Structure 1
Amino acid sequence: MTSAARTTNIAERIYQQLKLDIFDFQLLPGDRFSESEIARRMSASRTPVREALYRLERDGYVQVHFRSGWQVRPFDFQYFEDLYDVRILLEAEAVRRLCEDKDREGRLAGLMTIWCCRPEQRSHDSSEVAFLDEEFHFGLLECGQNQEMAAIHRSVCERLRIIRRLDFTQKGRIEATYKEHSEILDDICHGRRDKVVNHLKKHIEISKNTVREITLHRIQEARKRYAEDKNMDMPPKVT
């Protein structure tokens, strides 16, 4: 393996680990750090660390301050609200087009197998359902047969993933998602254009509100845990 290939592999490993740390709130919104700190932690040189960090910056997870190093991007819920608005516009247009497609049932057959199944056939694993949910919404755009819309939609959903993945940790959300997805598919198959757009918007709004509440709670809990850990490391006060 060449030196360049090794650096690329190490950068990919660091990228994936840092993204996971951000998703799991091991690195909190607003946390600052240097390339040297990450290099020591990852047992790597600064070159692949810098490559991973610039990739995370392009993805919108971190930002660089040229005099004070790097920072996990502070949570800006208006930013996520804007992304959700774009997502709703794209998905609403996709389902409208599907309602007019004569072969819509054939295009949706794979999604219907997953979401219109009997209750005993459903997955109850939150990570798996989170993945399937994302694939459901990707599938709607892909069935709409506009590759540029689908590419934009994937980019938007990638930036939303940091909060969307928390949706299925909430009790009842898995069952509700199966019900909502099957209703959306049934509306499309019967060409109910206005009804499916309303169903879709409501479905996304519920998810958005749920993850906002969970995200705020998770950040508060992580900050509390961090403060407790920091206090435990301090020497006892002399009285």
Structure 2
Amino acid sequence: MSTVPAAPPLAADAVVFRTRADEVYAQLKRDVAEFRMVPGDRFTENEVSERLGVSRTPVRQALFRLQQEGYVEVLFRSGWRVLPFDFDQFEQLYDLRMVLETTAARRLCETDRHIDLGLLDQLVSIWLVPAAQRSTHAAQVALWDEQFHCALVAAAGNAEMARVHGDVTDRIRIIRRLDFTKQPRIDATYDEHAKILKAIRAHRGDQAAMLLRAHIETSQAEVRKITLHQVHMARHAPG
């Protein structure tokens, strides 16, 4: 009597591999963002597999995903390489971010436009607080800062603007987070966000846009300076 072979558990395996690939992807992205993998570094899939304790399949999936996002490139017969930071591209993304956010700020000040007041109230509860209640945790402030700028665009009510802004946000996150490695920049972020919110609440569109532009330009310059310093230090670290 013949038996029908059982179907292989493809679905379950796919879930495991997808989960592992996501974990490897997140870890490698953190390694690049925190300069454990320095721009220009070369490595192989086997090296990553051994370091993270996973098979090559999720590693390869994660690397292809990072390749699509512009973090790494595959080298012919010699593994992979962390791509150098493309500062020209970051400058262009910051320019686009500037246009989107200043446009949103002006729209938020138009009294005849429907805006999401709930989002603005949430921002007020975070940024318009006494100095003693401010967070000094860099990772937390970095997250709140990103949410602040995304919420401004979302509150303006244009879903396509918010979608494009979200894409820009994803692409600059790797260097933007460096703006919160020093306490003076955290303090400045609180002060500048508070002024922007006050201008918006007072329906002063030109002032809000001007403050937002200055805030983004300062952050952009600081991030570039810190990024170059971090890359230099990582390359010259002992061992």
Give the structure-1-normalised TM-score: 0.90
Give the Cα separation in 1 of the matches to 2:194 and 2:115. Answer: 15
User: How far does the alpha carbon of each residue in 1:141-168 deviate from its partner, in whole angstroms, 9 at most, with x for none?
Assistant: 1101112211211111111111111111
TM-superposed CA distance for 1:40, in Å, is 2.2
1:172 partner SS: helix
Q: Which residue of 2 aligns with 1:233?
A: none
Q: Which residue of 1 aligns with 2:182?
A: 170
CA contact (8 A) 1:104 1:189 kept: no
Letter in 1 for 2:82: V
TM-superposed CA distance for 1:105, in Å, is 8.1
Q: Which residue of 2 aligns with 1:78?
A: 88
2:74 partner SS: strand
Letter in 1 for 2:40: G
Q: Which residue of 2 aligns with 1:57?
A: 67
TM-superposed CA distance for 1:66, in Å, is 3.6
| Pairing partner for 1:209 from 192, 196, 221 | 221
User: How far does the alpha carbon of each residue in 1:114-135 deviate from its partner, in whole angstroms, 9 at most, with x for none?
Assistant: 1111111111111111111111
CA contact (8 A) 1:115 1:182 kept: yes
CA contact (8 A) 1:104 1:188 kept: no
Give the Cα separation in 2 of the matches to 1:141 and 1:64. Answer: 36
Give the Cα separation in 2 of the matches to 1:170 and 1:59. Answer: 28
| Pairing partner for 1:149 from 158, 161, 177 | 161
Q: Which residue of 2 aligns with 1:161?
A: 173
CA contact (8 A) 2:72 2:82 kept: yes
| Pairing partner for 1:35 from 37, 42, 45 | 45
Letter in 2 for 1:164: R
CA contact (8 A) 2:179 2:222 kept: yes
2:73 partner SS: strand
Q: Which structure 2 residue ranges, 5 or more long, are not aligned?
A: 1-10
CA contact (8 A) 2:136 2:183 kept: no
Q: Which residue of 2 aligns with 1:237?
A: none
TM-superposed CA distance for 1:104, in Å, is 5.1
Give the Cα separation in 2 of the matches to 1:181 and 1:151. Answer: 22
Q: Which residue of 2 aligns with 1:126?
A: 138
User: How far does the alpha carbon of each residue in 1:40-96 deviate from its partner, in whole angstroms, 9 at most, with x for none?
Assistant: 222222211111111112222112234433211111211111110011011111111
CA contact (8 A) 2:116 2:157 kept: no
1:151 partner SS: helix
Letter in 1 for 2:188: A
1:187 partner SS: helix
Give the structure-2-normalised TM-score: 0.90
Aligned residues: 227
2:40 partner SS: coil
User: How far does the alpha carbon of each residue in 1:28-48 deviate from its partner, in whole angstroms, 9 at most, with x for none?
Assistant: 011122222222222222211
CA contact (8 A) 2:116 2:156 kept: no
What is the root-mean-square deviation in Å for CA atoms of aligned residues?
1.6
